[in-house]
Chain A
Amino acid sequence: MSGGHAWSGRARRLVVAVPYLWLLIFFAVPFAIVLRMSVSQNAIASPPYLPLFDPAAGWAGVKEFAGALTFDNFQRVFSDSIYTYAYLKSLQIAAMSTAILLAIAFPVAYGMACAPRRWQPVLVMAVVLPFWTAFLIRIYAWINILQRDGLLNDVLMALGLIGEPAGWLSSDTAIFIGIVYSYLPFMVLPIYSVLEKMDQSLLEAAADLGCPRWKAFWLVTVPLAMPGVLAGALLCFIPVIGEFVIPDLLGGSGTMMIGQALWVDFFGNLDWPAASAIAIVLLALLLGPIMIYQHLQMRALEGRRW
Chain B
Amino acid sequence: MVDDNASAAPLVRIEGAAKHFAGVPAVDGVSLDIAKGEFFALLGPSGCGKTTLLRMLAGFEIPDAGRILLDGEDIVPVPPYRRPVNMMFQSYALFPHLSVESNVAFGLKQEGLPRAEIKARVDEMMKTISIGQFASRKPHQLSGGQRQRVALARALVKRPKLFLLDEPLAALDKKLRAQTQFELKELQRRLGLTFVIVTHDQEEAMIMADRIGVMDRGRLVQVGTPAEIYEHPNSRWVAEFIGEANILRGEMVGREAVRTPAGTLRVAACGAAQGEVFVAIRPEKIRLSARRPDLEPDNCFAGRVSALAYRGDMSLCTVALQSGAELKVAVPNFMRGQSHVRGGDSVFASIDAAACVVLTQ
**Given that A215-B110, A306-B138 are contacting pairs, would A208 and B86 also be in contact in the complex, using a CB cutoff of 8 Å?**
yes
Query: What total count of A-B pairs have CB within 8 Å?
Result: 65
- Could you tell me if A204 and B97 are in contact, using CB atoms closer than 8 angstroms? no
Least Cβ distance of B166 to chain A in Å? 9
| B241 within 8 Å of A (CB atoms) | no
| Interface residue total, chain B, C-beta cutoff 8 A | 26
Q: A208 to B85, alpha carbons, bound, how many Å?
A: 8
With A202-B93, A306-B138, A306-B140 in contact, is A208–B110 under 8 Å at CB?
no
Contact B95 A208 (CB under 8 A): no
Q: Is the CB of A208 within 8 A of B155?
A: yes
Instruction: State whether B107 touches A210 (Cβ < 8 A).
Output: yes
CB distance from B40 to the nearest CB of A (A): 19
B-facing residues in A21-73 (Cβ within 8 Å) = none
Q: Does A211 contact B (CB under 8 A)?
A: yes
The answer to whether B80 has its CB under 8 Å from any CB of chain A is yes
* B81 and A212 contact, CB distance less than 8 A: yes
* Interface positions of A from 169 to 226, Cβ below 8 Å from B: 199, 201-202, 204-212, 215, 219-220, 223-224, 226
Query: Which one of A201, A212, A215, A224 contacts B97 once the chains associate, using CB atoms below 8 Å?
Result: A224
Interface status of A5 (Cβ within 8 A of chain B)? no
Bound state CA distance, A224 and B93, in angstroms? 13
Question: CA A242 – CA B101 in complex, angstroms?
Answer: 44
Counting CB contacts under 8 A, is A304 at the interface? yes
A295 interfacial by beta-carbon distance below 8 Å = no
| Residue contact A210 to B96, C-beta cutoff 8 Å | no
The distance in angstroms between the C-alpha atoms of A210 and B108, with both chains bound, is 8
Interchain CB contact under 8 A, A210 and B93: no
CA distance A237 to B44 in the complex (A): 55
B39 → chain A closest CB, angstroms: 20
Query: Residue of B at shortest CB range from A200?
Result: B93
Cβ-based interface call for B72 (8 A): no
What's the Cα separation between A266 and B212 when bound, in Å? 82
CA–CA, A304 and B96, complex, Å: 10
Task: Provide the bound-state CA to CA distance between A73 and B106, in Å.
Answer: 57
Measured CB to CB, the closest approach of chain A to B294, in angstroms, equals 62
Let me know if A76 is at the binding interface, CB within 8 A. Answer: no
Contact A209 B110, beta carbon cutoff 8 Å: yes
| Chain A residue nearest in CB terms to B158 | A209
Instruction: Decide: B80 and A207 in contact? CB cutoff 8 A.
Output: yes
Determine the main DSSP class of A at the interface with B: helix
Counting CB contacts under 8 A, is B182 at the interface? no
Choice from B94, B95, B111, B140 contacting A210 with Cβ under 8 Å: B111
Interface-centre pick from A204, A223, A226 (highest chain B CB count, 10 A)? A204
Q: B252-269: contact bitstring with A at CB < 8 Å (1 yes, 0 no)?
A: 000000000000000000
Question: Cβ of B96: which chain A residues have Cβ within 8 Å of it?
Answer: 224, 305-306
Q: A201-B89, A205-B89, A304-B140 are in contact. Are A211 and B110 (CB under 8 A)?
A: yes
Query: Contact partner of A207 among B79, B138, B140, CB < 8 A?
Result: B79
| Residues of the B chain whose Cβ atoms lie less than 8 Å from the Cβ of A212 | 79, 81
Shortest A92–chain B CB gap in Å is: 32
Residues of A within 8 A of B81 (CB): 207-212
Taking a contact as CB atoms under 8 Å apart, the answer to whether B111 and A205 are in contact is no
A176 to B196, CA, bound (A): 57
Q: Residue on B with the closest CB to A223?
A: B97
Closest to A226 in B: B97
Which residues of the partner chain B approach A206 to less than 8 Å between Cβ atoms?
A: 95, 106
Partner of B95, one of A204, A215, A220, A226: A220
Q: Is the CB of A208 within 8 A of B58?
A: yes
Interface residues of A (CB under 8 A from B): 199, 201-202, 204-212, 215, 219-220, 223-224, 226, 304-306
B: which residues have CB within 8 A of A?
58-60, 79-82, 85-87, 89, 91, 93-97, 106-107, 110-111, 138, 140, 154-155, 158
Interchain residue pairs A-B with the least CB separation, the first 7: A210-B110, A209-B107, A205-B93, A201-B93, A207-B80, A223-B97, A207-B81
Q: List 17 A-B contacts (CB under 8 A).
A: A202-B93, A204-B87, A205-B87, A208-B80, A208-B81, A208-B85, A209-B155, A210-B81, A210-B107, A210-B158, A211-B81, A211-B110, A215-B110, A219-B106, A223-B97, A306-B138, A306-B140
Q: A207-B79, A226-B97 are in contact. List 8 more A-B contacts (CB 8 A).
A: A204-B58, A205-B87, A208-B80, A209-B110, A210-B110, A212-B81, A224-B96, A306-B140
